[in-house]
Structure 1
Amino acid sequence: MGLLDPSQKEVLKFAVSCRILTLVLQVLTRLLGSSTPITYWFPAYLLQDREPLLRCVDTAPQKLLENSPPGQKAPRNCVMKLLYNWKTCSPVTKCILVYFLTYWLLGLIMHCNFLPWT
């Protein structure tokens, strides 16, 4: 086989560099995302601190029953409670919910289509 000309060597070097960079970034973000709880603690802190619906769950469960869809019990899952009461949620809660639900949905769609998602 013949040798690569200089332009093909540059393209090959660029392609290998991009692949290595992509792998390093994917591994780092997965490692940091799964081993660093601060990324989950901070939104949880904000939700507990600024969301009145989560503070009053134990003291006033009847309030949640009023806002739930007809014919349904009050959900046990805190995320579902917040989604059922979307209109009464604070703006901080809405931003956190939109971020995590969008991240989850995009990850699901991209992973099922064999696209890189970290």
Structure 2
Amino acid sequence: MWPLDPSRKEVVRFAISCRVLTLILQVLTRFLASSTPVVYWFPAYLLQDQELLLRSLGTMPWKPLVEDSPSRQKVPRNSIMGLLYNWKTCSPVTRYILGYFLTYWLLGLLLHCNFLPWT
């Protein structure tokens, strides 16, 4: 192996430490996201507690998916889509939670497709 001068040794050491740190962070976030439901329970609890649109059990304040069905049965939409459609009327806590998850999803989609480290 060729001898490395001190500046190259520092660069190699820095590159290896950055890669190890990135690897550790990716593995930790994968373990936390897949093995602990608390990460998802807490935002769900905040949404149920803070958001008025989710408090009513049987009624949906937004339009149903099928308005004039032959059986006159209302088919509710996904509650997250209902919150996104009514973004302006949502509480700030709901906006922050939805914004965080949407940003995480979009960044993950863009970075993973470009072979960049993202979990």
CA contact (8 A) 1:53 1:82 kept: yes
Partner residue, 1:115? 116
Task: Output one character per residue of 1:13-33: Cα deviation in whole Å (capped at 9) or x when no partner.
Answer: 222122112111111111112
1:5-62 deviation digits (Å, cap 9, x = unpaired): 232222222221221121111111111122121111111001111111111141x33x
Determine what percentage of the aligned residue pairs are the same residue. 69
Shift of 1:87: 2.3
- Tell me the C-alpha RMSD between the 2 structures: 2.4
Provide TM-score, normalisation by structure 1.
Answer: 0.81
Q: Distance in 2 between matches of 1:76 and 1:97?
A: 17
Give matches, 1:1-118, under 5 Å. Answer: 2-58=2-58, 60-61=59-60, 63-65=61-63, 75-118=76-119
Q: Give the distance between the partners of 1:110 and 1:47, measured in 2 at CA.
A: 28
Structure 1 segments of 4+ aligned residues over 3 angstroms from their partners: none
Secondary structure of 1:64's aligned partner: coil
Q: Which amino acid aligns with 2:96?
A: C
How many residues end up aligned between the 2 structures?
A: 113
- TM-score (norm. length: structure 2): 0.80
Which consecutive residues of structure 2, in runs of 5 or more, have no partner in the other structure? 69-73
Give the unaligned 5+ runs of structure 1: none
Cα 1:75–1:110 change in 2 (3 A) is farther
- Map of 2:71 onto structure 1: none
C-alpha change, 1:46 and 1:87, in structure 2 (3 Å) is: same
